[in-house]
Amino acid sequence: MQPKTAPAANTPKEIGKPFNPGVQIARIRYSPDGNTLCAAAFDSSVKRWDASTNEPAELPPITGHNGWVSDIAATHSTFFSVDSWGRLTATDIAAKEPKTLWTVEAAHNGWARAIAVSADGSQLATCGKDGFIRLWNPKDGKKLGELDIKYDLLSIAFSPKGTSVLAGDLFGLVRECDISAGKVLRTYEAKELHHIDRVQDVGGVKCLMLSTDGKILFAAGGEPKTGGFVQATPLLIAFDRESGKRLGQFKGTKDSEGYVTDMAWHPEGFVIGSTSGQPGQGKFFFWKPGAADASFLGGKLPNCHSVALHPSGTKVAVSATNANSSGNGRVKGTGGDYPANSSPIQVWSVPQSPAG
Amino acid sequence: MPRKLLCTPHEHAVSRRQFFGAAGASALGLSGLATPAIAEKLRKERRQVLFIWLDGGMSQLESWDPKPNTPFGGPLRAIPTSVPGIHISETLEHSAKVMKHLAIVRSVSTQDNSHSAGVDRIQRGDPKNRGVVYPFFGSAVSKLVGTNDSGLPPYISVKPMSGGFIYKDAGFLGPKYGALALGDGKPPENLLRPPELNAEADEERNELRKLLDANYSERRRKEYTEANTHAFEMAAQLQKKIELFDPSKLPQKDKDRYGSHDLGRHLLLARRLLEEGVTFVKVTSYGWDSHGDHFNQTLSQHPKFDKPFAAMIEDLNDRGMLDNVLVIACAEFGRTPRINGHIGRDHWPEAWSVCMAGRGIKRGVVAGKTNDKGTEVASDPVDVGGLFHTWYRALGINPDEVEFRNGGQPLPIAHEDMKPVSEVLA
């Protein structure tokens, strides 16, 4: 994963300083109007910032979840969030104080891994450790359908028309499903994303998405070498959705670069992604399907876990982890304190045609 | 100079009749005894240990001491168990059902945060430094308890990858108290006499080997030739029990309950070895050192411990063996409360948990506690010396009265400044 030397004008730049939510973050997303940035946090909350300026101001968080908030999705003024205890919540964030609209306490048995909202906003889809894909009515939280895949499902996306749902599992398989018909329509194999190490299944399809026109499926994670410490080389595989053929891939060069942890599709036709770094530094990158290399590769941020593309397409937020957080579990502060790690968020500009 | 390796005689206070009974049982197998009553008595008097070693360090927060909805508690839930008021992690749903047979010590606090030091020091009981290398618990128990009536080696280690004779476990006891390791649960290679070699020729070869060993031992340390001879004897013992290693003899139901992965298969073999009367069976599982992507590892790995562990407890209980077999699930340390940047947990000897069950252990109890965040022990800390005191007493061996002798040097069997965890002793 050697970066090309990009022209200065085409290189993303930091916008403002990183802001620190004071807690580790699983996922960040902008609201559709771009005015709010939300973060799924390890402290059972969804952190929020007014993102209408270049100096985000923190807003009251969404509370009421348990464990970790694992993923978030939005339609206009409503944010949907799922947590590791299986809860699904819809929150009205139009007002300054977030207002809970509805909650499904046990949307999944245990860890609800991911959530997606259909392009027209009429459906929600969630998937979980329990192996279920479930569809929900965004207005009232009523369950619209479900399909039992029986395997730990890590990632989910709607097709552009909302007629099918794609879910990626621990074992490197993506299934496109018609939930109302109770059918798996087709599968896409990305088995390199999974590895059995002793008695551990490692990796999986950590994130997936479709291009806006729905023609390209991106399934990503890492090519794991070990369990335990989890050395993995980032790997993003592009599939032609219709034929299932592989269109190409973006692969890191070192097994210390970790997983692709999150992706966003830029309307100009390239992927913005983040990698975890394990035990090395995380990256965030721009990659155009078919290209051999990333057109931009930023390595300043340790252990990146999410990217959120602003609806304008002009900036992207990247959540990382505080400096010196690699293997710092035992380290105590000078006063003997023992603070948790946190996930600083840095906003970067997205230059025009950065993927050349 | 040959060293005497003795323990206090009363530990072997077995009557001559009992001794010959045991010897007879060993020679014939329990089923070969004329009186089932004696066989049953011998079985009931067995003292055995199942030592499950989760190499790398299992997270206490995702197992025996969950702290849900706290800053370091992680994403997972705690679930109720068969003992009202005791909750453990949702990753151990089957263990939760057998909690009524288990004892958890949540206040373990040890000294080493590196694998290289921790693995040995924990398993040797971390005694005071007296310039000798103490035996691993398995070697110590095989010395102090003996071979029971199994006719099998007293200390068998079932582990992934390669096997062999691991003499280093024995420390100052001498190599013959080392572990016979069954790599991937398989018997040693070339265990059985090749078909082209008849029994007489095999016997002649063994006689020649013994003669060469005797000559060799005149010029070398005696314990090494003893160990060599011991290894051959063990092989001969295993030859008589070769059916133990034939999975086709096992009911499919048992295979399903224990699982087809390494840990499940190895625990099922361990159960069979314990049923045969082996004194100490150690089962090792590698790969628990989860510095990265810890919670997904936990969700994949813990169930592979949980299900066969609970099946083992059920089976030992159903067979009446839980009164004889001390079961211990342990590692070299726990894992950090703080979640690192790779979403991993690092090494944390400061505050972790050990689970035990069986002989001499109270059922359905928790001893000790950690603070609300799980960062420190909030009751009397228990170092590994205290655990060794507990385990020896559970086996009916009083560390205040029994000692090793290394030549003329008396050596305590457990750290003399420490005491057992009385809350878990029956």
Q: Do A129 and B299 touch (CB under 8 A)?
A: yes
Q: How large is the average pLDDT for residues A49-63?
A: 93
Residue A285's DSSP bridge partners are A273, A297
Q: In what order do the strands lie in the sheet with B403-406?
A: B5-7, B403-406, B409-412
The torsion angles phi and psi of B347, rounded to 5 degrees, stand at -80, 135
- Which residue, A296, A247, A253, is CA-closest to A274? A296
Q: Which residues of A touch B287 (CB under 8 A)?
A: 197-200, 227-228
CB atoms within 10 A of CB A259: 33
- Which residue, B136, B141, B161, is CA-closest to B153? B141
Q: Do A199 and B304 touch (CB under 8 A)?
A: yes
Which chain B residues in 49-108 lie under 8 Å from chain A, judged by CB atoms?
A: 56, 68-69, 71-77, 90
| Cα separation, A265 vs A326, whole angstroms | 29
Q: Do B346 and A327 touch (CB under 8 A)?
A: yes
Q: What is the pLDDT at residue B189? A: 75
The torsion angles phi and psi of B348, rounded to 5 degrees, stand at -145, 90
The torsion angles phi and psi of B101, rounded to 5 degrees, stand at -105, -5
Beta carbons within 8 Å of B264's beta carbon, 6+ residues apart: B258, B304, B307, B308
**Which secondary-structure segment (H or E) carries A192?**
none
Q: What is the pLDDT at residue B205? A: 78
| Local confidence band at A11 (pLDDT 50, 70, 90 cut-offs) | confident
| Cα separation, A235 vs B133, whole angstroms | 48
- CB-based burial, A232-242: b 16+ in 10 Å, e otherwise: bbbbbbbbebe
Lowest mean pLDDT among A326-335, B368-377, B403-412: A326-335
pLDDT digit string (tens) for A281-330? 788 899 999 998 898 888 778 899 999 999 999 999 999 999 888 888 99
Q: What is the pLDDT at residue A9? A: 59
B341 → closest Cβ in A43, A70, A321:
A321
| Local confidence band at A280 (pLDDT 50, 70, 90 cut-offs) | low
Per-chain mean pLDDT for chain B: 88
Q: Do A228 and B289 touch (CB under 8 A)?
A: yes
**Residue A128 tokens, joined:** 């979980």
- Which residue, B48, B99, B53, B22, is CA-closest to B322? B48
pLDDT digit string (tens) for B99-140? 999 999 999 999 999 998 889 999 999 999 999 999 999 999
Q: How large is the average pLDDT for residues A35-58?
A: 95
Residue position matching structure tokens 């078909």: B195
pLDDT digit string (tens) for B45-66? 789 999 999 999 999 999 999 9
| Cα separation, B288 vs B285, whole angstroms | 8
Residue position matching structure tokens 């794991």: A224
Q: Residue B84 pLDDT > 50, yes or no? A: yes
Per-chain mean pLDDT for chain A: 93
pTM attached to this predicted model? 0.91
3-state class (DSSP) for residue A144: strand
Q: How large is the average pLDDT for residues B166-180?
A: 93
A230 → closest Cβ in B262, B292, B341:
B292
| Local confidence band at A10 (pLDDT 50, 70, 90 cut-offs) | confident
Q: How large is the average pLDDT for residues B31-42?
A: 61
- CB-based burial, A140-178: b 16+ in 10 Å, e otherwise: ebeeebebebebbbbbbbbbbebebbbbbbbbbbbbbbe
3-state class (DSSP) for residue A209: strand
| Local confidence band at B223 (pLDDT 50, 70, 90 cut-offs) | low
| Cα separation, B92 vs A326, whole angstroms | 28
Q: Which residue of A has its CA nearest to B265?
A: A199
Q: What is the pLDDT at residue B16? A: 33
**Which secondary-structure segment (H or E) carries A107?**
none
Q: Residue B281 pLDDT > 50, yes or no? A: yes
Q: Residue B36 pLDDT > 80, yes or no? A: no
**Residue B278 tokens, joined:** 């082996």
pLDDT digit string (tens) for B288-326? 999 999 999 999 999 999 999 999 999 999 999 999 999
ipTM of the predicted structure? 0.95
Which chain B residues in 357-416 lie under 8 Å from chain A, judged by CB atoms?
A: 373, 375
* Cis amide bond preceding A344, omega within 30: no
